[in-house]
């Protein structure tokens, strides 16, 4: 093995001691046994999910030849098997990730299969959203009883689907309030994962799925003042951005920092949408009623602004730096209130996006990170692209803007590479 050869070489060259050499060997030995285990977990879960989904599909065939009692037995069979597997995992295989995750995934699907087969036997039309709600409520305790991350992930996906079905895809929509309680229910588990298994892949998936779920569901709080949601969402993205840059997250790879990515892309995307004059003209056709102060939209916005401000302050306390981009949401809230009276807001948003782009470029330059630098340039490019569609800007000006951004791409990248080369020498 290559590493052993290297270690011997380092020992004979007196770079490391014999003792260190042993420690290093032992470390790699331990590490080597992990991938196997990980593979086992992945296949365990995949297998359980496939079998679970397969059972649902077989059930969906709706066997006419089977009598009602036989069908009823089949409705309970997967459920009971799943429960026995989970019980076995709890009692005999405690601490074995592959077992508890696999059994948990299987039972989760078995619950859904069981309810859905009974709906078939008795021709219950029951809407999809109440089906999802029942399914997820019955699944929820498994997260803690099994300490299963896959159940937790399926649960987040399930309650998010429930919200989309209830609030976005059916009419008349109803407010899916249970979602917030159900999300709160799984947070202690998430927190534990975060504290105890910081580097685990399951934790990483949670870091993506939780902000993604919140991004999808936040819109469901809208009742009458949907316009306000722009501020609500901007504050949410601001909060994600803050979390993504907090002490616990900032040194993580981009891949494992869902908060940072969703926060940053969300902020940029939303700002770009609002950089169009037309959007602002549409936005305030009707002015806010008195009742706006007590609307869920306003309360959520208020809460998120406080949370995000606290997050910035918290980050400042921890490492004495403040990212100017963190304040985008506050500046935006201000511009939004100006927008009620004047379309100058659109112009201000353009400046804000531009500033965000420049700040990102500067950050990239400072950290000597081409990725960040080009992301900043991309923001500016997107802004310029958006203006391309604004017909009231002259062709010459638009042309100059494009040329300018193109040249900026060249120059900054070249400058950075040159600087790197100089550093290397």
Partner 1 sequence: MINKKILLPLFIVVALIQLYVPAKMILNQEEVLETGRLFKFKTAPIDPNDPFRGKYITLSFDRTNVPVEVDSVWKYNEKAFAIIAEDSAGFAYPISISKEEPTEKQNYLKVTVSSTYNNQASINYPFTRFYMEEYKAPEAETTYRQAQRDTATTVYALVAIKSGEAVLKDVLIDDVPIREVVEKARKEN
Q: Return residues touching partner 1 (CB under 8 A).
A: 56, 59-64, 72, 75-76, 79-80, 83, 86-87, 90-91, 94, 111-112, 114-116, 118-125, 128, 131, 134, 138, 141-142, 144-145, 171-172
* Angstrom distances, CA of residue 381 to CA of 35, 238, 372, 404, 406: 42, 22, 14, 10, 8
Tell me whether residue 24 or residue 145 sits nearer to partner 1 (CB atom).
145
The minimum distance between CB 186 and partner 1, in angstroms, equals: 15
The minimum distance between CB 163 and partner 1, in angstroms, equals: 17
DSSP characters for 117-164? HHHHHTT----HHHHHHHHHHHHHHHIIIII-HHHHHHHHHHHHHHHI
The minimum distance between CB 115 and partner 1, in angstroms, equals: 6
State the Rg of the chain over Cα: 27
User: Does residue 235 contact residue 333 with C-beta atoms inside 8 Å?
Assistant: yes
Length of the chain: 425
Tell me whether residue 55 or residue 243 sits nearer to partner 1 (CB atom).
55
User: Does residue 143 contact residue 120 with C-beta atoms inside 8 Å?
Assistant: no
Angle at 189 between CA 243 and CA 222, to 5 degrees: 60
The minimum distance between CB 190 and partner 1, in angstroms, equals: 17
Tell me whether residue 74 or residue 332 sits nearer to partner 1 (CB atom).
74
Secondary structure letter of residue 170 according to DSSP: S
User: Does residue 44 contact residue 101 with C-beta atoms inside 8 Å?
Assistant: yes
The minimum distance between CB 149 and partner 1, in angstroms, equals: 15
Tell me whether residue 75 or residue 274 sits nearer to partner 1 (CB atom).
75
The minimum distance between CB 191 and partner 1, in angstroms, equals: 16
The minimum distance between CB 98 and partner 1, in angstroms, equals: 18
Tell me whether residue 130 or residue 340 sits nearer to partner 1 (CB atom).
130
Tell me whether residue 121 or residue 362 sits nearer to partner 1 (CB atom).
121
Q: Estimate the crossing angle of helix 344-367 against helix 328-339, to 10 degrees.
A: 170
User: Does residue 343 contact residue 350 with C-beta atoms inside 8 Å?
Assistant: no
Distance (Å, whole) CA 242 – CA 255: 17
Tell me whether residue 126 or residue 269 sits nearer to partner 1 (CB atom).
126
């Amino acid at each position: 093995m290559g590493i052993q050869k290297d270690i011997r070489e380092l020992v004979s060259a007196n770079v490391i001691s014999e003792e260190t050499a042993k420690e290093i060997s032992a470390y790699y030995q331990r590490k080597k046994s992990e991938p196997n285990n990980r593979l086992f977990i992945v296949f365990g879960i995949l297998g359980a999910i496939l079998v679970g989904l397969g059972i649902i599909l077989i059930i969906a065939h709706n066997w006419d030849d089977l009598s009602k009692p036989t069908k009823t037995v089949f409705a309970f069979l997967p459920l009971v098997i799943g429960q026995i597997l989970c019980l076995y995992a709890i009692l005999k295989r405690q601490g074995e990730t592959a077992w508890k995750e696999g059994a948990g995934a299987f039972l989760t699907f078995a619950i859904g299969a069981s309810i859905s087969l009974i709906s078939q036997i008795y021709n219950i039309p029951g809407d999809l959203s109440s089906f999802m709600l029942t399914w997820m409520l019955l699944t929820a305790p498994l997260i803690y009883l099994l300490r299963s991350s896959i159940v937790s992930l399926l649960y987040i996906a399930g309650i998010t689907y429930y919200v989309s079905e209830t609030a976005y895809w059916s009419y008349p929509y109803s407010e899916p309030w249970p979602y917030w309680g159900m999300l709160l229910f799984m947070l202690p588990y998430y927190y534990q994962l975060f504290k105890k298994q910081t580097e685990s892949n399951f934790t990483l998936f949670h870091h993506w799925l939780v902000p993604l779920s919140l991004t999808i569901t936040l819109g469901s709080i809208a009742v009458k003042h949907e316009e306000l949601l722009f501020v609500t969402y901007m504050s949410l993205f601001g909060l994600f951005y803050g979390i993504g840059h907090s002490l616990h997250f900032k040194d993580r790879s981009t891949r494992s920092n869902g908060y940072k990515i969703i926060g940053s892309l969300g902020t940029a995307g939303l700002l770009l949408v609002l950089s169009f004059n037309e959007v602002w003209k549409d936005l305030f056709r009707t002015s806010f009623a008195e009742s706006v102060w007590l609307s869920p939209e306003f309360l959520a916005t208020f809460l998120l602004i406080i949370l995000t401000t606290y997050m910035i302050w918290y980050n400042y306390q921890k490492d004495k730096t403040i990212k100017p981009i963190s304040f985008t949401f506050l500046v935006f809230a201000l511009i939004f209130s100006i927008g009620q009276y004047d379309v100058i807001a659109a112009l201000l948003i353009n400046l804000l996006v531009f500033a965000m782009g420049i700040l990102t470029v500067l950050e990239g330059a400072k950290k000597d990170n081409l990725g960040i630098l080009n992301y900043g340039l991309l923001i500016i490019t997107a802004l310029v692209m958006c203006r391309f569609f604004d017909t009231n800007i002259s062709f010459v000006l638009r042309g100059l803007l494009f040329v300018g951004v193109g040249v900026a791409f060249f120059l900054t990248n070249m400058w950075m590479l040159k600087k790197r080369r100089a550093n290397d020498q």
